[in-house]
Structure formats: C-alpha cells, structure tokens
Chains A and B, each alone.
Chain A
Amino acid sequence: MGEEVEAQMKRIEATKGVIGTLVVDPDGVPIRSTLDQSMTLQYAGQLRQLVILARSAVRDIDPQNDLSALRVRSKSNEIIVVTENNYLVIGIQKLPEPDVSMSREVGVLDRFSLGNRVSWLATEGGK
C-alpha cells in the first residue's frame, strides 16, 4: 500500500502544471515536500491555520460533518488541500491557460470550454 501511494505522489509531482506538493502531519510538521524549505514552512503554516478555520466553520454548522477538502483558487495558481486523519495533503498547481479555440469541425480533435465548475471528483466512485 505504501508503495502505491508513493508512486501516486510521484506521479502527481511529475504532472505537468504541478508546482509542488506537500504533506503535513497532524502536528503541523511537513513530512514531505517538493518545494524549498522556506516555501514549505510558509505553506504549511498558512494553510494549517486556514484548514483549522474552515473546519471550525463546517463543524460549527453541523458537528457531525467534517472538512474533507479545501481549494483556493488565485489568479495564477490553485492550492488544493485534502485532509485525512488530520493529515494535510497539499498540491499547488498552475492553472492551465483557458482554451478559446473555436473550430468545431467533425474529425478535428478540439475543445470548447465553458464556465461552470464541476465538483464531482471527491465522490466515492472509482474505488
């Protein structure tokens, strides 16, 4: 199991567009990171506080609920924080350039993007 997760993390890190990944243990200590030390500490500190705040908000509304993921989108990047067992798995990804190609000929492999978000990723399927 451990190797699979390792392999998975390596894959993520190697993905084009991913600036860095970071794993923080429940005590707030970063245990794994692909960023340099100062950035690591900064991200770990800031995001941990944010997660605590978000969790407090979620649980205050319904104590039986708990925070599972947090995404912060900025102009250039997206910071994705996924929580499990009080561990934080953080990924920083550079947002892809929006694709504005318009051609829709049959047979040409093209894309046409729309604006709404789809948030069906973290559901149970695919296990």
Chain B
Amino acid sequence: MPVPNNNAAFARKGSNVQKVPGAKSTKAATKKKDEEETVETGTGWEEWSQGKALVRPPDQMELTEAELKEENTRILTANNPHAPQNIVRYSFKERSYKPINIVDQMAVHFVLEGSLVHQDSEEARKLGVKEGLAQEIATVDATAESEEEKAETSVNPAVDGGDVEEAGDEDRPDSAASRINKKEPKVTNQFNFSDRASQTLNNPMRDRICQTEPPPRSSFSATANQWEIYDAYVQELQKQEKNKEKQKGTHSHKDNGKSKKVMLMETQSEDVTKWTMASKILERTISQNTFDDIAQDFKYFEDASDEFREQQGTLLPLWKFQYDKAKTLSVTALCWNNKYQDLFAVGLGSYDFSRQGCGMLLFYSLKNPAFPEYIYPTSSGVMCLDIHVQYSHLVAVGFYNGCVAVYSLKEEGREPVYKSTAKTGKHTDPVWQVHWQSDDMDSNHNFYSVSSDGRVVSWTLVKNELIFTDIIRLTLTGAVSEGPKGAQAPSIASGTSFDFHKQIDYMFLVGTEEGKIHKCSKTYSSQFLETFDAHSMAVDTVKWNYFHPKVFVSCSSDWTVKIWDHTINTPMFVFDLQAAVGDVAWAPYSSTVFAAVTTDGTVHVFDLNVNKYEAICQQLVVDKKKTKLTHVEFNPIHPVIIVGDDRGYVTSFKLSPNLRKKPKAKKGHELPKGPEVEVAKMEKLLSLLREPDQNSG
C-alpha cells in the first residue's frame, strides 16, 4: 500500500529531520517502529501477519491507548537546533551585557575549499601567465590565451603594477622566459612613481607657564587615643549645649559679659592661684617623705611587746605639731573634726590670769604636721572650741573675754562669721565650754556655752546674728532661796565645764568651780535635777560615756578622776593621779577606756575592764619640769590621741594594742559587735559595785 509506505517514509524522514534527543527520540523511534510494524503488518506480508504478533522490545515505554493515539504534530522549521538561543554580547557603548535576540541559525554541515578562481581576478591572471608560459609551445589556444592574458594585463596594468614589482622576483625565471618569448615591449608604469611629500606649516610652539603659590602645607600628626576621642566628643557636646543656650535668648549675652569680666580678672590676678592645690599636695608629699617613718608607724606599727606585758600598754609618739607664733600660748582646747578625721582644731590661749593676750585658733591635719592648715588669730585667748558634728566647717569658740564666736572654715577671711558682743549677751567671765546642739525647729544651728558668770546660754544662729537665750543660772545653793531678810541675792556659781547627754537630749551636766556637778535639764531654768558633790576643787571636765547612758567621768585639780552613775550620788570609781588632772576623755571605741592628762606631764590610760584600780598605761610624754599637759582627745577612728600642753605644742600618740582591747569572744561564740557590747561591759562592772551599795545603802 503506497499510502502507508509513504507514511513510513515520511515518518522516517520526519524522524531524521527532527532528531529530538532523549526519551522523545526513543519514543519517536519506537513510534516509528510501531508504525513500521503496523505498516509491515498492514502491507503485503499478510501471510506473516497471522503468525506474527507484535514484538515489543523489553524497554519500550508503556503507553496508554489514548496516548498511543495521540498525534504529535511535527513541524519543520528552519531553526538550527545547535544554535544557542541566548547570546549575550558586551556593548562598550552601553557598558553592559546586552542580549542578542537574533541568533545566526546557519549550521554549516560541510565546507570544502575549492580551487576555482574567477577569471577576472588577479590570481587568475597570475595563473594565466604561468599557464601561458607553460603552454607557449602549444597551439593557438595557448597563444590566444596568452593574448588574452596580455590584454588582461594591459587592461589592468595599474593593478598589476604593484604586483609586477613584487612578483618580479618570483617570476624572474618566468619573466625572463616571457620576455624572450613574447617579444613585447615591457609594460612600464604609466605614472612616475615618486614620493611626493609636502610639509604643512608647523605652527610655532609656545610655552605658557603659570605658577601658582603652593597651597600652604602643614604637617599634622596625632595619635588617636581613647582619651583624644573622648575629648573630641566632649567638645562636641559642649558646643551643642552652647547652641542650645544661645537659642534660649538674650540671657546668654548678659552671661557672656559677666564671664568676660571674670576672665579678665583671672588673667590679671596672680597665676599663683591656679596651682594652689598642687602646692598643697606637694607640701604634704614632702612632709610624708620627711616623716615617712612616723607615717609608717601610724599606719602599721603595733607594739609587739604588748603581748608580753599582759595588761600594760604604751603610747607611741607620732607627730608633734607646733606653730611659731603660738609658742607663748597654751593649748586650751582640742577637738577632732568628725568628717575629716585627720583634721583637728587647737585653741590657744592662756590659763594664766595675769598673762592675757591674744589667742589663736589653729587647724592641723595629720597629713601635714609641719604647718597648720588654717590659722585664725584672735584678739582674746581661746578657752574652748567645738566643731559641729554635721557641718564640720562651723566651729564655735569661746573666749577669755566672755565672747563667743562662730568661725566658718569655708569662708576666706580670718574673722568669725558670728560674734557675740556686749549688747548681744556675751558672758562677763571667760567661757569655759561650748557645745553644738542639734538644729532647732527652724533648722537654725545653735550651741551652748557655760561660763564663770554662772550662766548657761544657748546661742542660735539666725541669719547674720547670734541670739542668746539663758538656759540656766547656776547658783551656789541650787535654787533661789530666800535669805533671812528675803533680799539675799542668790550667789552665782561659776560653771567650768559641761557636757550634754548623748542620748537624752535635754539632760546635761555642769561642773562648777566649787567642785559640784549639777545635773540639769534644758527645760527647767531655775532648778537642777540633781547635784553631785564631786570634788574639792574646780571641776575641770565632765564627760558622758559614749556608750553607757548612765555613766560619766569628771576630773579636777584636786588630783582625782571620778566615775559616776548619774542615778547614784556617790562615785563608782575614784582614781588619784598624784597631780592636778587637766583633762579626761572617754575612748570612742570602748566604754571602759579613758585617758587623763596631768600637769606633771603624764598621760594615764585606764581600762576598767582590765584593771579597775590602776591605769594600764602611765606615760611621761613631755619634759616634766617645763610643760604641763592641758588637754587630751581621742581620734574618732584612728587609734591616736592628741595631747596639748601649755607651751603650744600638740603631740600625737598611737595607742598600743593593749589599750584598745575589745572583749574576747568565748570559744564557739561569735564576737558580738556594736555599742550594746560596750554597754553590757560597763553594766557588768557597775553591777558589781552597785550590789554592795544597794546592800549597804
């Protein structure tokens, strides 16, 4: 059957033309086979068809009937299947890769370089010449050919002209042959081949130079450190802040004006002020070096021999403070500064009635023993002073002439900030003690003073004035009494010392010249709460215990130091020190330790916990004959005491470990800390004494 045959042929061709790779080809192949086979079965091989079944290759793809019947149309296209479909070329104009849509679809299947030469081309002519030579013996054809060639050469002499010269060498043998054979005139170049050169006018060259000034150069080098970066940022911040301020209006103009003035002032004034602190620190450093060993002792030295001495302790001398202009004065008061514990105040004056001159208030620091930090000369001798506990720049001072004054260390001048005068209620006799109190309800500072004129006065700092209030008048009999004639004025007792209770605010003790100690209250102005017959001579000092609320100590020129419980009329402890006792002070770290100084130059330190009858330390610290010790004070935190004498010297001592004993902890128990321990310690001692008293009394 022709149709199926054609179909088969067509199918074959189609499959040839469309060589689709992969499965399709196999499919096509199989399809082709199918068709072939169908064709075969369809064609005249009928006798075979019956016996023949469809032979399927094992790897033929399984197709469903529907798929078998599917007609795949095949399209003949002129596309070259091998040609790339997306060519991208770099375009320099657009500086990017551009896709080229039209791709050359030509597929070259076969190339054969032919040897046909066009007869009008040069090569042909050359060849022709050669052939002409070769065929000169030949017939007319050859000559005709050569003529033709000649004609050709004559027709195209110009073209050949160049070639002739070049080819001349090659064709010499040929050309020689040709000359001989052709007998033709040599074809010469029609043109005169001469180089013709012409020179154009050269423009004259001109140099135009312009020199500029080189830009100013400066070499800059810096290191980029952490702090330089930080500084830059800080400056930036300041600039921003300034800008903000400028935006806030005209205020800035005024400030600028003021600041400019201030600036001028500064530049005009001595440069010295700029490094005041530095020179101070230098001075201290130098004195540290000079007194290096003392500084070491102060900080680190602990007397090892104390272990062997059982109960005795010693005082290690440390710095000695003296001031030239204070040589004739005695130390009349000592006070440590609570806030800056290396600073203490020294009041200088004279106890001698006949020799009364000017006085001085000095502040020393332990860091600079060579020279006082602050110097305040006063017109009258300083008898007492007290530094405010909280506002440690305020110092209350009592004078021999009965005035009281308040100095402020923050102020520049040498004058007191407040001073009492005759009008404002100054005492008529020397002020023996001053003491700061807590601020009153209007938060004004106030302090108390006691004087030989028998008055205890409270002074309040109100704005710029000192306002006084008489708290109590000390009388000899203790109360205003009616004399036999009813007109007897109460005789005045002279107060020589006082101390306020640490916890009970209104209660205070006053020691008098007669030797009595009165327990008073701030609220009762005419009566005493109680009176103790303390001493036979003037009571120099009374001091409440820091820890135990009931205990106080008193000392007097009658050589005794007595310890009292304020509820009991008789002293708990009495110590006879063989010389007039100038001052006594409790230790801030223990309720049972106190120190006393005597006029024979000895410092006595007692610890009642250790020894109830004797001092655990009795040390001669100054020259016995010349100097008398006048005051003693414990440092709030360091184990140091300062002792003032009547020559204006202040000596500091370090307490050896035995003097600073804390109660030993029982094994297994934690060491209890705090004031309760101290109180308990004292209580224990007192109870031992009290019981016999109670039993007896």
Give the B-binding residues of A (Cβ under 8 A): 1-2, 4-6, 8-9, 11-12, 15-18, 21, 23, 25, 31, 56, 59-61, 63-64, 68-69, 71, 78, 80, 82-85, 87-91, 93, 95-96, 98-99, 104, 106-107, 109, 111-116, 118, 120-122, 124-127
Query: A56 contacts B370, CB within 8 Å?
Result: no
* A83: contacting residue among B231, B278, B314, B340, CB under 8 A: B278
The answer to the question of B273 belonging to the interface, with a C-beta cut-off of 8 Å to chain A, is yes
What 4 A-B pairs come out closest when comparing CB atoms?
A63-B230, A59-B227, A126-B365, A113-B293
Taking A21-B282, A89-B278 as given, write out 5 further A-B residue pairs in contact, using a Cβ cutoff of 8 Å, ordered by the A residue number. Answer: A17-B286, A89-B279, A106-B619, A111-B297, A112-B293
The answer to the question of B620 belonging to the interface, with a C-beta cut-off of 8 Å to chain A, is yes
Residues of A within 8 A of B340 (CB): 124-127
Q: How far is the CA of A95 from the CA of B598 in the complex (A)?
A: 38
* A84: contacting residue among B277, B303, B620, CB under 8 A: B277
Query: B300 contacts A69, CB within 8 Å?
Result: no
The answer to the question of B219 belonging to the interface, with a C-beta cut-off of 8 Å to chain A, is no
Give the A-binding residues of B (Cβ under 8 A): 223, 225-227, 229-231, 269-290, 292-301, 303, 305, 314, 317, 340-343, 365-368, 370-371, 373, 409, 412, 619-620
Q: How far is the CA of A91 from the CA of B280 in the complex (A)?
A: 12
Residues of A within 8 A of B275 (CB): 5, 23, 82, 84-85, 87, 89
Q: Shortest distance in angstroms between A121's beta carbon and chain B's nearest beta carbon? A: 5
Give 5 pairs: A residue, B residue, CB < 8 Å, sorted on A.
A4-B276, A8-B276, A15-B287, A107-B620, A116-B296
Query: B289 contacts A95, CB within 8 Å?
Result: yes
Given contacts A59-B227, A112-B301, A116-B296, contact A9 B288 (CB under 8 A): no
Q: Shortest distance in angstroms between B640's beta carbon and chain A's nearest beta carbon? A: 14
Q: How far is the CA of A31 from the CA of B284 in the complex (A)?
A: 22
Residues of A within 8 A of B305 (CB): 104
Residues of A within 8 A of B273 (CB): 1-2, 5
Residues of B within 8 A of A17 (CB): 286, 289-290
Given contacts A82-B278, A84-B277, A104-B305, contact A113 B285 (CB under 8 A): no
CB-based nearest A residue for B277: A84
Q: How far is the CA of A103 from the CA of B373 in the complex (A)?
A: 33
Query: A106 contacts B227, CB within 8 Å?
Result: no
Q: How far is the CA of A7 from the CA of B619 in the complex (A)?
A: 37
Query: A118 contacts B286, CB within 8 Å?
Result: no
Residues of B within 8 A of A95 (CB): 289
* A121: contacting residue among B279, B284, B317, CB under 8 A: B284
Query: A18 contacts B279, CB within 8 Å?
Result: no
Query: B279 contacts A8, CB within 8 Å?
Result: yes
Query: B301 contacts A122, CB within 8 Å?
Result: no
Number of A-B contacts (CB under 8 A): 162
Q: How far is the CA of A119 from the CA of B459 in the complex (A)?
A: 42
CB-based nearest A residue for B393: A127
Query: A126 contacts B342, CB within 8 Å?
Result: yes
Residues of B within 8 A of A23 (CB): 275, 279
Residues of A within 8 A of B297 (CB): 111-114
Residues of B within 8 A of A115 (CB): 296
Residues of A within 8 A of B365 (CB): 125-126
Q: How far is the CA of A34 from the CA of B73 in the complex (A)?
A: 117
CB-based nearest A residue for B618: A106
Query: A61 contacts B226, CB within 8 Å?
Result: yes
Query: B301 contacts A71, CB within 8 Å?
Result: no
Q: Shortest distance in angstroms between A101's beta carbon and chain B's nearest beta carbon? A: 10
Given contacts A17-B289, A104-B303, contact A82 B281 (CB under 8 A): yes
Query: B373 contacts A126, CB within 8 Å?
Result: yes
Q: How far is the CA of A111 from the CA of B318 in the complex (A)?
A: 9
Q: How far is the CA of A59 from the CA of B314 in the complex (A)?
A: 47
Query: B227 contacts A63, CB within 8 Å?
Result: yes
Q: How far is the CA of A93 from the CA of B278 in the complex (A)?
A: 16
Query: A114 contacts B227, CB within 8 Å?
Result: no
* B274: contacting residue among A61, A84, A107, A112, CB under 8 A: A84
* B285: contacting residue among A61, A82, A99, CB under 8 A: A82
CB-based nearest B residue for A58: B227
Q: Shortest distance in angstroms between A13's beta carbon and chain B's nearest beta carbon? A: 10
Query: A5 contacts B279, CB within 8 Å?
Result: yes
Query: B278 contacts A113, CB within 8 Å?
Result: no
* A118: contacting residue among B229, B231, B288, CB under 8 A: B288
Given contacts A125-B342, A126-B367, contact A118 B281 (CB under 8 A): no
Residues of A within 8 A of B277 (CB): 82, 84
Q: How far is the CA of A68 from the CA of B281 in the complex (A)?
A: 10
Q: How far is the CA of A88 from the CA of B273 in the complex (A)?
A: 13
Q: How far is the CA of A96 from the CA of B298 in the complex (A)?
A: 18
Residues of B within 8 A of A80 (CB): 282, 285-286
Residues of B within 8 A of A109 (CB): 317
Query: A96 contacts B292, CB within 8 Å?
Result: yes
Query: A118 contacts B276, CB within 8 Å?
Result: no
Residues of A within 8 A of B226 (CB): 59-61, 63
